[in-house]
Structure formats: structure tokens, C-alpha cells
Copies of this chain bind each other. A is one copy, B any other.
Amino acid sequence: MSPSHYKQIVLNSRPVADIEPDTFRTESRAFSELKPGQEQALVQCTYLSLDPAMRGYIRDARSYLPPVKIGEVMRAAGLGVVVQVGPGSKFKVGDYVSGAWGMQEYAVVKDKHLVKLELPTGVEPLDYLNVLGSSGLTAYFGLKDIGQLKAGEKLVVSGAAGSVGTIVCQLGKAAGAKVYAIAGGADKCKWLEEEIGVEKALDYKSKTFFADVKKHVGYLDVYFDNVGGDILDFMLTRLNKDARIVLCGAISQYNAVKPKGLQGYMNLISQRATLRGFIVMDYEDHYPEALHALRKGLSNGAIKRKFHIVEGGIEQAPKALPMLFSGGNTGKLYVPRRVSFPCEAY
């Protein structure tokens, strides 16, 4: 017996600073609306990916994607299983897929917006929202194209225990760089040193953090920045000549009403350094090259990862999302569907 309704998380109001309890609301929609058309499939969502970029999606500002509208289903990437197909669809019922159908339990999605999961040795479905999803691709192109990291250079990574940061650290190591990881708290730092194998992990919550950076890193060649704010400003004073700063994110500032300004930018002149932003979607034509390398890293164990799963169904997503901004997650953050739902996926 199928359920008559399914749940959606929609944007209820735009937060001024932190995400609030009324930022999102859960809506119930009738299943009868869901009928896949030409070259479409009905997908049951099994996992939602929660990402820092989501804070940007709900801001009413000029950006690389239009803001999510009030009342619209919240933008999100997910994993799912095909439960029904429309005429001409290349998918079969039971196929495991990934796509960006948003925060909802079911969705009708065009074939061209779905990726069928391949699962060679070492790869599991959740990797498609992480190492083989936007996190891995972001790490790969950010480090290669923007960072232009070379063997022997010093790479500093902030947000290093997050999904992108962890991958950057490991790609950096594989490229022959000396990797310094910034994370919050002793546990994350221990994990980065012992499991991920960075040269040194630096705890930004420590009172000696800035001195620690000076002592252990000295000056850096590439800074892969996921956090912005004070740490980015400090790193501007630690640049080697020709240093590159990869502006990937600024998670410390996403909730800020008035972002902390960078005072150290004149060091970019004296050190002939570059501060450059990028958006992974621009590299779509080169995804196959990156995915090949990332899949290989997973298969041979060179890329490790940690999953942080918040159970309870997609209605947990609004409560889990703020963890990304408070450092509450360790590893990639997911919200799975309620286990009691029909149509089992892996």
C-alpha cells in the first residue's frame, strides 16, 4: 500500500543571520500529482546532502544561481531510487540515481538531470553526494585550476574536517604538497593527523592558533579557503611570493549580517599573490577527468571520508543544516529518508 502524501521542505522566510526555526516549513503534497512524463522518472529520495552553499541559496542576492523563492522547495542534491518511469525514459524501476530534485521525499525528474550510480569496488552510493559529487569536484578543480598546486609546496586548508576540506587535504598529499589542516577542536585535529595524514592539524579554537600557524606553517604557497573571515585575513599575512588563495567558501561569514572585512589584502600586492573564486559548475565539461581520478582514489584507498548521518526523515534537514555553521558535523552531512517508507533502496 502506497502512502497518499509525501513531504517537501519549502522556504518559509529568509533569515537575516542564522537559520531560524521558521526559515523552512514542511508541506504535505498529494502523490496523485506525481506522474512522470516523456523521458522522466519518479524518484524516491533516499538521502539528502546538506551543504554550506545552501545558506547562499536562500539569500536574496545576485549570485551564480537564482535565490530559492519563498514557498519553493529548497534546493538540494540527493540520492534516490527510481520507482516509476515515463515513456522513453532510459531508467528502470529500481535504478539508483543522484540528482538535485531538492528537499522532498519524491520528485519527477527529467532523465537528463539524473545520474545513474556506478558502484565499483570502494565506491558506495553516499560517495555520489560527496567525493564523486560536488564536494569532490570542487576540491579537485579548486586545487588544480585555481590553486595550481605543485609538489613540494605548502598547502593550508581551512574547514579541513568538512566534506570539501577533507578531500582537498588528501588530493594535496597525493600531489606531493606539505598539507596543513585547520579545523575546530582536538578530535577533528587528531582525526586529520592520524587518519587523513596531514603534516599538522591546527585548531582554530585554540588560543595559540595564530602563533601555531606561524610556528608550523611559516609562509604558505596555496591556501584553500572554506571559511573566510578572520582566518582568511590572517592568512593574507602568511603568503609566500606568488601564493594562490582558492576562495571556495566563507562559511564563517554566511550567517553574518555584516561580513568581517579583509584588512590584509595589500599583502597580495607585495607578494604578487592571487585571491580567486570559482564555481564548480563551470567545469562541467571536465567532470569525467576529475571523476576518474576521484573514483581511483576511492578504489585504492587514497581518499578516505567520514559520513555524518542525521536520522529521522527529511523533516530533520532544517534542524541539521545549522550544524554546518556551528562545526557540529564531522564529515559529510546527510539526511536519509524515514526507514519506514516503502520501496527499499540500498
What residues of chain B lie closer than 8 Å to A266, measured between beta carbons?
Answer: 228, 247, 250, 253, 259, 277
**Residues from chain B with Cβ under 8 Å of A249 in the complex:** 269
Q: Which of A232, A260, A267, A276 has the most CB of B within 10 A?
A: A276
Q: Please, which residues of chain B bring their CB within 8 A of the CB of A232?
A: 265
The answer to whether B263 and A268 have CB atoms under 8 Å apart is no
Residues in B whose Cβ lies below 8 Å from that of A4: none
Whether A275 lies near B272 (C-beta < 8 A) is no
Give the residues in chain B near A269, CB-CB below 8 Å. 247-250, 277-279
* A228-B265, A253-B266, A261-B261 known; A273 vs B276 contact (CB < 8 Å): yes
* B63/A270 in contact, CB under 8 A: yes
Cβ distance A51 to chain B, nearest Cβ, rounded Å: 14
| A263–B270 CB distance below 8 A | no
Determine the distance from Cα of A274 to Cα of B279 in the docked complex, in whole angstroms.
12
A233-B261, A260-B261, A261-B233 given; A279·B270 CB < 8 A? yes
Report B-chain residues with C-beta under 8 Å of the C-beta of A215. none
Report if A258 contacts B (CB, 8 A): yes
Q: Within A206-263, which residues are at the interface with B (CB < 8 Å)?
A: 228, 232-233, 247-250, 253, 258-263
**In the complex, chain B residues whose CB is within 8 Å of the CB of A262:** 261-262, 265
Interfacial chain B residues near A277, Cβ < 8 Å: 266-274
Contact residues in B for A260 (Cβ distance below 8 Å): 261, 263
- Chain B neighbourhood of A258, CB < 8 A: 263
Most buried by B among A248, A265, A278: A265
Alpha-carbon gap, A263 to B232, bound state (A) = 12
Q: A64 at the A/B interface (Cβ < 8 Å)?
A: yes
List, in ascending order, chain B residues with CB within 8 A of A233's CB: 261
Contact yes or no, B275 A275, CB < 8 A: yes
Does A112 interact with chain B (Cβ within 8 Å)?
A: no
Task: Point out the residues of chain B lying under 8 angstroms from A282, CB to CB.
Answer: 272
- Chain B residue numbers with a CB within 8 Å of A279 are 269-270, 272
A62 CB-CB contact with B under 8 Å: yes
Interface residues of A in 263-300 (CB under 8 A from B): 263, 265-279, 282
A276 with B275: in contact, given A253-B266, A259-B263, A263-B258 (CB under 8 Å)?
yes
Residues of chain B contacted by A274 (CB below 8 angstroms)? 274-277
Nearest-CB residue, chain B, relative to A281:
B272
CB-CB nearest in chain B for A269: B277
> Do residues B275 and A268 form an inter-chain contact, with CB atoms below 8 A?
yes
**A270 to B: closest C-beta gap in Å:** 4
Interface residues of A in 64-98 (CB under 8 A from B): 64
Residues of B within 8 A of A253 (CB): 266
**22 A-B pairs in the complex with CB atoms less than 8 angstroms apart:** A64-B270, A64-B271, A228-B266, A247-B265, A247-B268, A248-B269, A250-B266, A258-B263, A259-B266, A260-B261, A261-B263, A262-B265, A267-B277, A268-B277, A270-B277, A272-B278, A272-B282, A273-B276, A274-B275, A274-B277, A275-B276, A276-B276
A interface list, Cβ under 8 A from B:
56, 62-64, 228, 232-233, 247-250, 253, 258-263, 265-279, 282
In addition to A64-B272, A232-B265, 10 A-B residue pairs with Cβ atoms within 8 Å of each other are A56-B270, A64-B271, A247-B265, A250-B265, A260-B261, A261-B262, A262-B262, A262-B265, A268-B277, A272-B276
